Structure formats: C-alpha cells, structure tokens
Chain A
C-alpha cells in the first residue's frame, strides 16, 4: 500500500501558475466560428422565412409593415435564442443574410430589452448576381 502517492504532484503545483483565469478582469479569447448571437445583414435578405420556420425556439419574428413598399420588419428575440445557428444554415442566399457574431456576454435583467429589430425593404436578387439590385433603403438596426 503506497502512502501519499499524490504528494509529489501536489507539491509541484504549489509553484505553478493557477489554471483558473481571473474573469472578469482577464478574459479568454473565443475561437473563430464561435456561435454567439445572430444578426441580420438586411441588404441580402429576400424574406424567404426559412430562418423563422426552422428556428427551434421561435426567436425570429418577421412581420409585414408596408406591403406596397415591400417593407418588412424582423425581430430577433435574443432572450429566446438558443445559439444553435440553424438560421444561418437555413439561409439560402450567398453571401448569407443571417450571420453570427462572437458576443456571449449578453445577459440583462429584463428579457424584453434583449430584442433587436430591423425594418427594411425586401431585396430583389437578379439571377446569379452577387449584390442586391433594389434600393437598399435599410434602416439602422434599432437595438
């Protein structure tokens, strides 16, 4: 029976730097392609509603503001979002209209403040075009 097998390892750690990071005074870097919060690039969106249909948490809400001007409103409910990035995978445009950033410190004490919405005009893509053809009268995202 060996006594104190753990001892050399323990004593070695007295002189090593701690493995824990002093968050929030020092932060760790997140890797590339980290799934943070989704946001819209309104100029590419063709309002196919694939993201709304496939979101598991019903976090995307698309409603019509003005049919004649083709203005649509999209609200992303960040309090309901589960950060799965399925909306980005379902988005059919190239380059994608739904994008993911690396923000993860989005906590708030009121869930209604965590929404982001956009009012924009629906983009009309010419076949095999890389840029939208209609007037990009996209308003700034209202946070």
Chain B
C-alpha cells in the first residue's frame, strides 16, 4: 500500500524549507518529487540595482556557510571584467580565508550528519572544535560569518605576525581533533551501521546526473575545480583531490574528512610562503562591457557565476549556479529504494544549502495543477506590467 509522506517544507530534519514528497510502501521509498522555491529572495534581480561594490555584500549573503565562496566567485569575475590583477599578498589572504571557510563548513557538516543520525555527542564535539576556526576568522576579518574580506582588486584587511602565529596554532589543534573524528566516524558501530551502504550513487550515475563536489568524489569521480582549472594560488600549493570508492554516505564522510586534512596542508603552505606587498589595487567604478563566467570550488562543489556588464557601474545580469542545485537530480536517484529512516542522512549527505539553490522557478496553475516553465524575460515583462496597472495598497509602504 503506497502513500505519500511530505518531508518539508517544515521539518526538523531540514535546516531550510524544501518540499520533498515521498511515495512510500511500508518503509521503502519508491518515488521522490522535489519542489523548490520556498527560499527564493530575488537576489539576481536585486543585483541589477546595486553597484559593483555593493554587490559583493549581496552575493555574500546568498548563503551563510559558503558566504566567502559566493563573494570570491563574484569578485574573481568582476576583476576579470575590469582587467585588474590583484597583488600576490591579497590573493594569498583571500584563498587562505577560503580554505578556512572550507574547514568550518566541513566541521559543521560532520556535526549535522551526526545529529541527523542521532549521534548527538559527536555533533556537540565537532561544533565545539569548530569554534576554534570561527574565532580565528573573527580575529582576521572582524566577524564570524560573512567575513566580507574581499574587495574588488584584493582584500580589505591584512594579517600581522601575531595573527599568523595564532592561525598556525589553531591548525595544529584542529588537525589532532579531525583525526580523532575520522577514527570515531569510521569505527563507532552504531554510526557506521547507519551510514554504510546508504544512499548509493554509482560512478556512471554520478557522471550522468552531473553531481558535483564531495558527492561526486565519493563515487570515485575525481572532479575538483581547484585541480581541473587552477587559478590564482592553486597551482602553487601542493594538495591532493580526496576521493573514495564506496559511493555511499560513509564515502562522503570519508571524503570530507580527507578534504579537511588537505585544507590544513594548504593553509600551512599559504602561511609559510605569504609574500610581502600590498593587499589591493584600486578598482574603477565602472566596468567595460563584456561577460564573464567565474568558477570556484565551494565546500559543496562547483560554484558558477555569470556576470554581464554594459559599461555602467551596475551589472546588467548576474546568474548564480550553486552546487546544491546540481546535486538535486543525484539526490532523487539516491533516495529511490532507500528506507524512510535514511531520508535525513541521504539528504544531509549532499550538504544541502537550499538557499544557495533557489534559482529555477516552475509555475503551477492553481486551478488545473498544470506545470509550465517560463523564461525570465517573460516573467520580468509580466511583473512590470502588473505593477504599473495595480493600485498602491494602503499599508504597502513601510515607514522607514
């Protein structure tokens, strides 16, 4: 007897609203229907009204955990449009923060995976150690989340010797704790029983469904933008792409912990060979007309920003393709034939950052339930027409 249970939009397993309608028979899932859009904020439209500098802060707020990756991807693109070459020291600091963000994101994910599996002690311990990274980031940039260290042409703040020493100490502590969590995660019998063999995604499916990030790497697909298309400092540091062959959630845990250890290596190399010099070059206010596609390896996978400029001080179009959006088709495949008890773990294993991925919209006619996909230009025309014809509501103006 099959019936549908709704996971979401409000559900304790999800940190953000998304609707997964599961068709189940007993405890086995036979079909999944993913519906997005609960977190849509209109960021791409907002970006067209703000100038290049203001957009750094806007793109940063697409997500809280991968905030630096969105800001950096955007700034990389704009620097290319304006033909700027940021100084070496600025680049080193920028990518040092990027690696620290990867560390914080993976520690957060380990805790969340433990919590979804019911392993609350593991959750508390990994988040306690994540505080070390958060304090380091606060010391460097002035804020624990949304570091805002990027500016067009380089970075805004510099590192002094005391800060460098503290970062190195922090990395030593974190490395010891990460190795301990690797040991626990792979050896605690009740935890391994939950995550081994769950959420299977074969290598062929991972390539066919365009999975990115640790999800693909855990199925043996060694795809990492830092190695495939190295830019800035990534061809000067020595690290390996972490892969696993088990194609299940245990593989994804292993890949993320291996990436943590690689990030510690990268941070130490960057700190040791930090060049002297300026941290930023002056950027013009307007960009020459052109378009650019910028790629970046966020903690969750490949992040793509497309920016089009038309000679003014505001972008004409900004399009964001976050990694979680690319992992949704793979998730549908993984959830099929799984148990209900495994839903939170499988979904958490792709490291969902749903607010990053709110970009496509399907219109469903309320009366007939019929779905259609509409082009952005048509939506824009319809919205402008509607606003011009509609009367202003009485209390629509917020008394700011």
Contacts and interface: CB of A to CB of B under 8 A. Distances in A.
A contacts B: CB pair < 8 Å: yes
Most chain B CB inside 10 Å of its own CB: which residue of A19, A31, A57, A100: A31
Given A19-B128, A83-B143, A56 B189 contact: no
Categorize the interface residue count of chain B: 20 to 34
Interface string B165-187: 00000000000000010011001
Contact of A55 (B54, B61, B142, B184): B54
B303 interface: no
Given A83-B143, A89-B156, A1 B57 contact: no
B188 A82 contact: no
B143 A35 contact: yes
B148 A84 contact: yes
A51 B325 CA distance: 36
Interface of B is mostly: helix
Contact of A84 (B50, B57, B184, B187): B57
A85 B54 contact: no
A129 to B, nearest CB: 23
A34 B151 contact: no
Interface in B55-85: 55-58, 61
Interface in A42-84: 53-57, 77, 80, 82-84
Nearest to B142: A35
A25 interface: no
B372 interface: no
A105 interface: no
B374 interface: no
Contacts of B57: 56-57, 82, 84, 86
B58 A56 contact: yes
Contacts of A77: 400
Interface in B95-151: 121-122, 125, 128, 131, 135, 138-139, 142-143, 146, 148, 151
B222 to A, nearest CB: 30
Q: Which 4 residue pairs of A and B lie closest in terms of their CB atoms, listed nearest first? A: A35-B142, A56-B54, A56-B57, A31-B139
23 contacts: A1-B189, A2-B187, A2-B188, A2-B189, A5-B184, A5-B187, A6-B184, A9-B125, A31-B138, A31-B139, A33-B142, A34-B138, A34-B143, A35-B142, A56-B55, A56-B56, A56-B58, A77-B400, A80-B400, A83-B143, A84-B148, A86-B148, A89-B151
